[in-house]
Structures are given as structure tokens and as C-alpha cells.
Structure 1
């Protein structure tokens, strides 16, 4: 794949390593790219990822490594630089190498040049990710959540050993990484400075731990309210913003977290009727569910069902989309393998959709998708395979050779 400006080509997607991407310093191994003012895309920084691009008509290749002396942070090597120095950021790797080659001080954004903002490159890097970390902002603090879980302990709000999140804040006058964990029967906060753990606090509840930490004393571990019922979207405005548009995976992450802290979805109506979602943290959700049901039946909930025309238009659009994917699915599975079969059919749409969407809709392998994209680039979407012309060579006989010489000789004499 490539872009007009940098002619980027992903040579290797690299590997996601659990001990790096889902551990204490996981925040260093993921990058959040802003797609819109309210939307971010979470992309893994994969070990052994290699990408080729062009700057000033010169080819550069950046490779990401796990540093032997600092495994908590990715290292970046520009293979164009014969010295093969390891840099802590892609920006430094690109700009320092550029300076060596051209003796010019130029500033390029490393993540931008490497293609983390490119939708197709991002989708290839996200293939195989089972859980996407996410971040929320609370009291102007960005919390990075990289593991979830559930348990039977009410005092821990039913959160499981395995839940982990982190954020940066000053501790004893120095910027620190504070990692919050739920262990088997307690909550724990570990304080890291320069990748070294300097302090650990633990307690029976999040509130107990906060009281020992002696910082951010205005924050309670869990928000209290008198009612056991909340409406999810209106509460998320407190975390995000009023006009924030959620993507599916982030909403699913919130729903998963709600369930795993002991909450129950008690919404009476379907998503097609309303986007509202009512949840309760009651141990017995039946009373709250009956209450929401009663309010709904009596038209006391302002749930704003969609207009019939809009609903019908949406239904028609979804039916058309379903027919489109169903047609491709049938064509691909009915045809043979190879250039003149599945690959050629898939090449019609291969460049217009990302790996993940095609894989989910058609249930096919990444290898076939990649092959179809290559087919489209070489032959054109859906076009017949371009065949090289067959050139036949034969030796000229001695008599023919003499005749040619005589012919050309007589021509020059005239």
C-alpha cells in the first residue's frame, strides 16, 4: 500500500507481545491517532514492524524493535542509516537520519510518516488484536485501561484480578507512572519512576487505596449516587463530551466493563427504538427492570423513537448493504481458487474496504485479501490477468544470413 506524499509501504506488520502490550508499561506500546475531534483509533506499536517510505526522493525503512536494555519502551532503527542507531521515538529516528544524509535540519512527524494515520495501514496492524486498550479522561487525568475482569467481591465492585490501568501524575515531586491493579482480594497501586517501582499501596477497596496515596484526595475510587439506575450515554458525557460519537468497539468495551463490575442492562426497548441504555448496579435487578418497563409502557420515558420514514430508509439501506455482501460471499465461495476465480472477484472491492471489514463480512483469510489487493494493483479491479507476450526466438540459417548481407550491401551501393 502507498500514499502519494510519502509512498509508504508496509513491509511487515510485526508482532503483538502480551508481556509488552498488556503489561505495566503497555501505554508505551500503543498509539492513539485522532481521526476526528472526538474520535481516536488505538493502534499497536508492533515489534519487528517494518515500513518503507520516501523522503526527498530517498528510500527510508524504519524497523521497530524490543530494546535489550529497555524492554519497556519500543526502539526505532532506520535501516537507511548504516550506523543502525536505536532511537526512542520514530520522529528522532527519521529526523536524525535525514540530517545525516542531507545535512539539513528538517522536522518530520514520525508517527505520521510511518503511516499510523493511514486507515489501511492501521487496519493491517490491528489484525489479530483481541482487546483494544482505551483511555478516559477524569478530572483532567487521562487513564489508560489495558485489562478488564470480573469477580464475586462486592467490596471491589465485582472487578476481577487482572484489571489494570495506568496514568501519569507527580508523586513526591517527580512525574510518575501510577498503575492500578485488582489482585485476588485487594486493590493495589504501584508507583514507577524511570521504569523502576518505588512504592506500592494496597487496600481492601479502591477508596482505601486512594486514602493511603496522599495525592488526588478529591477523587473517590468509585462514584456514588443515590439511585442504582443510570442511563449509559448521558453518564458517558461526563467522561467524553456531549457531541462525541462512539464507535462500536469502544461502546462494547464500556458495556463489558459495566457487566464486569456487576451492572445489568435493564433497557426495555431495542436499539432501533432508541439509543438510550439503562443499567443498574443492584444485586437484584428485577425491581429496576420492572420500573423501567412500567415507565416505558406508560410513555413516561422520553426515549424519542425514530420517525417511520427514517426508520424505513435505514431498513432499506441495511437490506441493500446485506444484499451486497451476500452477493460477494456467494460469488467467492462458488468460484475456484486462483487468479481467475476468488482472487479476481475479490479484487473488485479489495481496495475500497479494509482488511477487517472484508474478513468479518466474507469470512475469508487475510492472505486472500492481501492477494486480491495485489491483483487489483497489478491487473486492475476485476480485470483479466495481464499476460506477458510470448516471444519466440529462432536461429537464422547460413543461407538467410548471406542473403541479408547481400541485400543490405546492394542497397548501400545504390
Structure 2
């Protein structure tokens, strides 16, 4: 199948943003399978979406302990036989692991895997670049956002930066996103849902917000509004 062909593996890796990793804390193996980023220094900059697991005994039976971050909560979930047995919520990795009463010879930061240098590199890499309205004219700043959100998910030859420049120079603050994107693409080009979704993600990272007053199923119109920030 080619899985032992290094050239094929390198090509496949180029389109993958994150590989699950394993690190060790004493005798414990921590399996990190999703990354999340935040500005919370106390969480070592991990954020919502971060999940890692450890195999450990709970109530005299082997279980899987999942450390995760959801919004503003740090959580440890204990599973046995694929069933959730216990869920503990805390204000920080150290706090939530302290509340579990388990593996108390290590702190929560260690048991989340957050003091591991490789995991810290992955968290840093996962950071979503953002900008403000006054940055829209700067090609170097906008290129970083384009490379992160759109480069591998849309046509390579569209004049995407002109879209932002034209909008910034206009007096319009609210647009119908799809109709304004159409001039960038060939005639009869059809957006798939994934491509439109990453466009919205890039706009959000650029200081816009979706103000569509209907659900996706109720309306074909998707509006985005730019926040005009004083310089």
C-alpha cells in the first residue's frame, strides 16, 4: 500500500497539521490527540479543544483518564469499558487533577502533558493568527492568515487580498459574503461548504463577525460585518 515508502509518507504529512504524540511523566504515558490554544499563561497556553489521556486504575479497575479543556474549564473524565464513570471540573490543570485525588505525586500541568517541550511546540504552532482592520493593507500580515486558513483549501490564483483592500476602502460595513466572493473566482465556480467555512474562519480572524440572522438551512445569505477599530 506504500505505507513504508518515505516519499509517499512525506507527501501525506505535508497536508496534515497535527499528529497525535505520546510523552511520559514518570511511569505514565500521556497520549495527546487534539490541540487547543489560548492566551492563558496558567494553562501553559493550552486552550479549548485540548485533550490528552492516561491509562490508570480507578476503583480497582483499569480506566482511561482524559484531561481536556472546554472553554473556561479544565476537565478530567474517567472512562471504563467505554463508559463515562466520573467527570471532574476545575479552574486549572493543577486544580482539576487535585480534585480527582489520583496520581498526586505529579501536578496537573504535568499530567496534562503541558510541561513537555514537544507539546509546547505543537501548542505554539497551533496558535491561530489574527489581525485588525488597520492591518488589511499589509500584505505580509494578511499572507500569514491566508496561508493558515485558505491556501490549501481554495484556488491558488485568486486575488484574495484585493477583496480585503476593496472592502477596507469602501464605506460599506456589512456585506453578503458569497456574492462578494464570486468575482474572485471563475464564472460558474461552485463553493463547497468546507471552502466557504474556511473563508468565514479567515474573516473572523481578521476582525469580522457573522451576523446572519438565520440558520444555514433557512437562508442562502451569509452576512459578515467588519469592526472598524480606531487607530
TM (norm. structure 2) is 0.45
| More RCO (CA 8 Å, sep 6+) | 2
Task: State the structure with more CA Rg.
Answer: 1
